[in-house]
Amino acid sequence: MFRIWHIGTRHEFLPDTHGRDSDDVEGTSWEYLLDMLSGFHKDDALYADFVVCPTGPYVRGAAQYAEIRSIRHKRFAPR
């Protein structure tokens, strides 16, 4: 399970499992995310600047699926 939390809100995003629309990266958001997680340990937290594009409507209290467009400035930190 992987959730992207929009800091300062209670809004969470889930990586979508459909093909990406972006021309610079192929595959699904999950595949893109797994490539970016090299060096990640299961006890670590990931901090990064994510650019996401929701793929479905907003539902209050529920995580929203989103296409991950980019991940920058990633940093792993022990919990």
- Res 20: pLDDT: 55
- Res 26: pLDDT: 61
Q: Which regions in the chain score pLDDT beneath 50?
A: none
DSSP state of 19: B
Contact by Cβ (8 Å): 12, 3: yes
- Res 73: pLDDT: 92
Its pTM stands at 0.70
> Is the alpha carbon torsion for 72, 8, 4, 66 positive or negative?
negative
